[in-house]
Amino acid sequence: MSTRTPSFGRRLQWRLEYAVYLGMEKMIGLLTPRQAAWTGERLGALVGRVSARHRRIVERNLRIAFAGEKSPEEVERLAGEVFRRAGANLIASLCTASLDARELDKVVEIENAAVLTDALATGKGVVALLAHMGNWEALAQKFPQVMPPGVQAGDIYRPLSNPLLDARLVRTRERTGLKLFAKSVNPLSLASFVRAGGGLGIMSDQRALGIGEIVPFFGRLTACTPLPAVLARRTGATVVGLSVVTQAPGKWRIKFHRLVGEPTTENCMKLLEVAMRESPSDVFWLQDRWKISHHKPQWEPGRTPKEGIHRAAAGKLRRCLVWLEDALTPVPALQQAEPDNLAFEYSLPMEAPHPAWLAADAIIYRRPLLDRRRLIQAEITRIDRATALPLDFVYVPQGPGKVAAVCRQMGMPVATKPEGGE
């Protein structure tokens, strides 16, 4: 099957992007890792101030992950630190990617290396759980170096859309002996690599839509990749976790963590959580990890484990605000799929009586007359901030209208029909 030749405009775009990247890489290459981290920290702080959308994503992630553990003030401070660290790690990665082994040893130290040694001693390979955390380019360079002679390190990566930049990335990461597998590779190739005794790193902190297994992650049910657990069970490999923590500007520590229990998806995510808790500010929280579908916000796409999921195991429930215009009409139930982890709250006009069809202990927020969009937005924000967990979506059973429009403007998912459609 032939592939279509890219247009001249697309090829020109690729070359321009590549030229810009090489220029940045050369400029940053003139800096020390400490100077690069310092520069990136300032750039990250700037992004955190000017990008309301990314700030909202980071704060939402942190509120979910640390609900009941950190106060709103602590979450706000941590969010600021996340942007600074993200910038520092990103810019410094362009610097550390070209360091030789001796220079890399000066900026990266290893802790708990015995965890990896013990795992490799079985001869059945190692599956390493990774998160987008710290200077992961330094990790890509260092991972092959911590392997004993004859044992190869591998990593699964997402190919870049620009083939010139993708080839550059592959050359950079493979120069120290790291074997790269494209994300679309046949899983049998991964299993063969692990069976041969190799150590395979798998980024496991992203949401795995469709194929993901719904298990708790930081106390919230969500779709998680089953790949590490499946590989470990089929090959007999040992699962370990890795954290990458900033020790000082331009210096990082890679720490190995042991898996507790059998290599199930749930236990793997518990291990990854342990690694990420080593330094929450080093975690790349800018990806929308617990994203709510705007089309059907009450659904959590993913595969339910064979043993099912009980509501008691849901932990941090998803908050749904039901916006009522009166207390008389019962609300049509939202059609739900497993898991049943929704907690319903209600907004009622100030003068409306308690609905007879609602339980006496239902959470109800009373609102004054809201005749302007900015007032509706302020009320939704107030309710969102009423608890440690963020509001996940709003259900407007009376159909599309001013409230639904305000929600969309805010970036808040909204359902206006029982089936969640529009």
In this prediction, residue 32 carries a pLDDT of 94
Confidence grade of residue 313 (pLDDT, cut at 50, 70, 90): low
Q: How many CB atoms lie within 10 A of CB 391?
A: 23
Residue 264 domain flag: yes
Residues 226 and 352 grouped into a single domain: no
pLDDT in tens, 248-295: 999 999 999 999 999 999 999 999 999 999 999 999 999 999 988 888
In this prediction, residue 309 carries a pLDDT of 57
Contact call for residues 394 and 414 (beta carbons, < 8 A): yes
Residue 296 domain flag: no
Mean pLDDT of the chain: 91
Residues 98 and 225 grouped into a single domain: yes
In this prediction, residue 336 carries a pLDDT of 62
Residues 111 and 245 grouped into a single domain: yes
Residues 16 and 121 grouped into a single domain: yes
Cα separation, 419 vs 299, whole angstroms: 10
pLDDT in tens, 153-190: 999 999 999 999 999 999 999 998 999 999 989 999 99
Confidence grade of residue 338 (pLDDT, cut at 50, 70, 90): low
In this prediction, residue 296 carries a pLDDT of 84
Confidence grade of residue 342 (pLDDT, cut at 50, 70, 90): confident
In this prediction, residue 136 carries a pLDDT of 87
Last-in-domain residue among 262, 282, 302: 282
- The parent domain of residue 227 ranges over 8-282
Residues 316 and 395 grouped into a single domain: yes
Q: Give the CATH number for residue 360.
A: 3.40.50
Confidence check: pLDDT of 306 > 60: no
Residue 394 domain flag: yes
Residue 287 domain flag: no
In this prediction, residue 305 carries a pLDDT of 60
In this prediction, residue 307 carries a pLDDT of 52
Residues 381 and 326 grouped into a single domain: yes
Omega prior to 397 cis, within 30 of 0: no
How many domains does the structure of the chain reveal?
Answer: 2
pLDDT in tens, 101-154: 899 999 999 999 999 999 999 999 999 999 999 998 999 999 999 999 989 999
| Mean pLDDT of the 15-34 span | 93
Cα separation, 217 vs 3, whole angstroms: 40
Residues 220 and 350 grouped into a single domain: no
Burial pattern 39-59, b for ≥16 Cβ within 10 A else e, equals bbbebbbeebeeeeebbbbbb
pLDDT in tens, 348-374: 999 999 999 999 999 999 999 888 999
Residues 222 and 359 grouped into a single domain: no
Which uninterrupted H or E stretch holds 362? none
Residues 169 and 263 grouped into a single domain: yes
pLDDT more than 70, % of the chain: 94
Residues 67 and 193 grouped into a single domain: yes
Residue 1 domain flag: no
pLDDT more than 90, % of the chain: 77
Confidence check: pLDDT of 389 > 70: yes
Residue 274 domain flag: yes
Confidence check: pLDDT of 210 > 80: no
Confidence grade of residue 98 (pLDDT, cut at 50, 70, 90): confident
Residue 333 domain flag: yes
Confidence check: pLDDT of 2 > 80: no
Contact call for residues 83 and 42 (beta carbons, < 8 A): no
| Mean pLDDT of the 291-311 span | 71
In this prediction, residue 38 carries a pLDDT of 96
Residues 341 and 248 grouped into a single domain: no
Omega prior to 149 cis, within 30 of 0: no
Residues 329 and 269 grouped into a single domain: no
Of residues 310 and 277, more confidently modeled: 277
Residue 292 domain flag: no
| Mean pLDDT of the 18-42 span | 94
